[in-house]
A and B are shown apart, each in its own frame.
Chain A
């Protein structure tokens, strides 16, 4: 059993321009921001991003990394709309495939199960189906008469997720209220990378917590990055909550190129040192 510990830079070294990358978490909760920051510093471009979107999406849009977004929403919660994402959309810079948020789960699940699609009612009658010419329906083969949407699998070249704890083998644990869909992102991906607040010995993972909190199994994880504060400025409960000041600075940074440059200098250029500062501030 080999260790899979690597650096954020090594993770991004495994990615290529044009890839489809799934990003775990939910809105401003447990986003793998240390890995996103590393993508911002890289020369990667032309990415297709699949996300329950928060500032991960806005940052990548603002940095010109995104060709296409597969999404159900993009929000900052206390700030309902992400201004960087809005600006990119309103300038017509990115292509989108917009799905109901449950359809997105279904697409990841289908990819994880190696199925071409899974049926659902969600999307029927809405602009999700009428606005997406690639979406097909299937007739219930058992005779109810219902035509259902065949939600296509969303296979990912890579998945990036952030967890509270992991071991070096890729077993990873959430300690907050909700696992979100991180395990499905990893299951749907060719390569999955997990950053975490702390890498600990395997036995420590279940010393205090129920084994059900181990939502990532090492057989679906290719690399583990120790990144304390690695979800900053999103939350990683119970380790830390959202950094409200940084969140508002982020939202305000869409006002002008100068504000965006200032935000990048303040929050994005510091690398691992900055993440540790962030951890101290949010502790």
Chain B
């Protein structure tokens, strides 16, 4: 067990974000979250619904870089996904380019929106996701340029923004976890600021502080992120990611 790599610890941390979710659509972006969510379903969260990346809901357990292999259990083209998004039975793990202290995230553009210094992909579904169903985030490179004091524009709604926007925004606002290559965070119930929950083995709290561009809530002794079990390691290495794509996202 002690030979688990950093990428494998990140897989576990992402999987843990979906523990206890029950029968909902789990949507994970990025390689390690995709491995994590499949691991969760194959072990402690068997009721999760997953798509094949297109329009089918699929049962089964298949490699992250291979076509979906399993039993089709439903049809979910984009508009039906939007129905589930707004209905609330979904938990998405998204990849922000910027994230701030209160969980506001940006994937749209850097700089002035009228003439961005760097145009990114656009807000996509982040505004709707964050005010209608649980959302977590995955940041493969934890650094001050990602963990900023204030995002340039708000794609995903953080706690302060939701509070300011009224009950319409707050009613179903539910930010869960932030998992990075260094640590795991949630948000303090009082004030909604980002809170350090665990550091990955080999990472110090000071390293996390130094890589974060805003003050973190840190309560007492910070535990280490749990390691994968033997069975989880076998699933990751032999079934879910036999070609080691996880190491491309988080190098050892």
Contacts and interface: CB of A to CB of B under 8 A. Distances in A.
Contacts of B119: 81, 85-86, 89-90
Interface of B: 54-56, 77-79, 82, 85-86, 108-109, 113-128, 130-132, 153-157, 161-162, 164-169, 171-173
Interface string A90-107: 111000101111110100
Given A81-B119, A125-B165, A178 B86 contact: no
A22 interface: no
Nearest to A139: B168
A72 B82 CA distance: 13
B115 A92 contact: yes
B123 A128 contact: yes
Q: Which 5 A-B pairs have the closest CB atoms?
A: A122-B128, A125-B165, A73-B122, A92-B115, A146-B168
A141 interface: no
A100 B167 contact: no
Contact of A72 (B123, B157, B161): B123
Contacts of A129: 165
Interface string A119-132: 01111111111110
Given A92-B114, A101-B124, A121 B161 contact: no
Interface of A: 26, 53, 71-75, 80-81, 85-86, 89-92, 96, 98-103, 105, 120-131, 137, 140, 144-148, 177-181
B77 A73 contact: no
Contact of B86 (A89, A122, A147, A177): A122
Residue in B108, B119, B167 with the greatest tally of chain A CB atoms within 10 Å = B119
Given A71-B122, A74-B121, A80-B121, A102 B82 contact: yes
B165 A127 contact: no
A154 B1 CA distance: 56
B92 to A, nearest CB: 13
Contacts of B168: 121, 124, 137, 140, 146-148
A137 to B, nearest CB: 8
A181 B60 CA distance: 29
11 contacts: A73-B122, A75-B122, A81-B120, A86-B118, A90-B116, A98-B108, A123-B128, A124-B131, A126-B161, A177-B54, A177-B56
A128 B127 contact: yes
B115 A125 contact: no
B243 to A, nearest CB: 17
Nearest to A119: B168
Contacts of A178: 54-55, 77-78
Given A81-B120, A127-B123, 19 more contacts: A73-B122, A80-B121, A90-B116, A90-B117, A121-B169, A121-B172, A122-B127, A122-B128, A124-B165, A125-B161, A125-B162, A125-B169, A127-B153, A128-B127, A129-B165, A145-B167, A177-B55, A178-B77, A178-B78
Given A105-B82, A144-B167, A126 B115 contact: no
Residue in B78, B123, B154, B165 with the greatest tally of chain A CB atoms within 10 Å = B123
A72 B154 contact: no
A96 B113 CA distance: 9
A120 B108 CA distance: 21
A77 to B, nearest CB: 10
Contacts of A177: 54-56, 77
B128 to A, nearest CB: 3
A89 B125 contact: no
A100 B125 CA distance: 5
A146 B166 contact: yes
Contacts of A89: 109, 115-116, 119
B223 to A, nearest CB: 32
Contact of B122 (A72, A102, A130): A72
Residue in B82, B86, B172 with the greatest tally of chain A CB atoms within 10 Å = B82
Nearest to B157: A125
A179 B77 contact: yes
Contacts of A105: 79, 82
Contacts of B82: 101-102, 105
